[in-house]
Amino acid sequence: MQETPTLPLASGEDFFEVRLESIGGLGANLAGQMLAEAGMLGAGLNGAQFSSYGSEKKGTPVKSFVRFCAPQTEVRTSSPVEQPHVIAVFHVALLRAGGVLAGLRPGGIAILNSPHPPEDFVAVCALPKGCRLATVDGTGIAVAERSRVNTAMLGAVTAACSFLPPDVVRAQISKTFGKKYPALVESNVRTFDRGMSEMKVLVVEDGPEYTEYARPEPLLGYLTQRLGGVVGPGTSIYKDLSLSRQGWLPELIRDKCIDCAKCEMVCPDYCFVWESRIDAKGRRQPVLAGIDYQYCKGCMKCIEACPTEALVKKLETEGWAEENRVAHHFQPVLPETTQASAERSAR
């Protein structure tokens, strides 16, 4: 029988805590479940796992929380993990939203899904001195192995949880996928192993000094909220949907395009930008100028609809969408502020 591992806890700590920061569709909830079941059912630890999400919609924020403790310790809390020992960010664009790395404990580790070395993110993450920053190309590994990002990130998280035997997690992956998708077991185990072995780790030496975590207060409440709040319309024109993409986006091959607009008809988010130009016969015609990737969530419906293969599936690399984005010419008309409305009424 396998010996129960000893958790690397500091004085006064009862739980070793993990927080997975992700978006809907990347499998963070399942990764958290497999990690927790491996630790509790396979390694003999006590603990708990649960997730936090809104509409369970692809592209919306998801957090998965895992707590491990000694077998004799009772779990009497189900609150979100605010001060984790390990944070895994499944989509590096989440860093733009801010707060995903908040509360990391002294000496903790933050793992980013990125093909770039951790040195590239030191300034952006601003982790306290002594913490570790790691990167792993979870998306690239998943594409190569024809699996999912979550098992690659699970491998990296397991490497960060040194007390957790990798064989126990492998067994849990095999059990989880073997129930419904036995053909996917081998590829996901390979993805897990690569996530463990290909993670690059950097110790932060020039970061700020660690300060005690303070729970952020809401910016607006029922006493400070401005009268006449506005609910924005449910269209993507106000939003950046790039977080919804799971490693792929459509690329336009302009030479093959016949401007048939079939892509426009199936696109749910009005990503395609059209311009009026004069053709060879002197007629003014609408011509597809490009794609506004700010509003593209990577559903690939346009590729299926294109009759000439002018739209192809491309593996997204960091910065490519921004460099090749063709922005819409119009600007959204935002609702008037109370002051602007009063000034207009006064005139």
Burial zone of 239 (CB within 10 Å; 0-12 exposed, 13-18 middle, 19+ buried): middle
Distance from C-alpha of 207 to C-alpha of 104, rounded to nearest angstrom: 13
Distance from C-alpha of 151 to C-alpha of 266, rounded to nearest angstrom: 32
pLDDT higher than 90, residue 11: no
Q: Mean pLDDT throughout 291-308?
A: 93
Burial pattern 22-54, b for ≥16 Cβ within 10 A else e, equals: bbbbbbbbbbbbbbbbbbbebbebbbbbbbebe
- Residue with the two structure tokens 């040195």: 119
Residue 336: predicted pLDDT: 45
What count of Cα atoms within 13 Å lies in the side-chain half-sphere of residue 313?
12
Q: Mean pLDDT throughout 101-119?
A: 95
Query: What CATH number has the domain spanning 16-203?
Result: 3.40.920.10
What count of Cα atoms within 13 Å lies in the side-chain half-sphere of residue 185?
15
Q: Do domains 16-203 and 236-324 have the same CATH topology?
A: no
Residue 233: predicted pLDDT: 44
Q: Mean pLDDT throughout 77-83?
A: 93
SS3 label, residue 32: helix
SS3 label, residue 67: strand
Third-level CATH fold of 236-324: Alpha-Beta Plaits (3.30.70)
Q: What is the total residue count of the chain? A: 347
Distance from C-alpha of 226 to C-alpha of 36, rounded to nearest angstrom: 43
Least confident of 33-37, 59-63, 221-225: 221-225
- Residue with the two structure tokens 């397991």: 158
Residues 6+ apart with CB under 8 A from 339: none
The four Cα atoms 291, 296, 302, 304 give a dihedral, to 10 degrees, of 140
Residue 238: predicted pLDDT: 55
pLDDT higher than 60, residue 237: no
pLDDT higher than 70, residue 207: yes
Q: Mean pLDDT throughout 302-307?
A: 96
Encode pLDDT of 312-332 as tens digits.
999 888 789 999 999 987 554
Domain extents in the chain: 16-203, 236-324
Residue 32: predicted pLDDT: 97
Least confident of 9-13, 88-92, 164-168, 230-234: 230-234
**Residue 206 is encoded by which pair of tokens?**
């020039």
Residue 221: predicted pLDDT: 74
- Residue with the two structure tokens 């909220």: 225
Q: What are residue 277's phi and psi, to 5 degrees? A: -135, 165
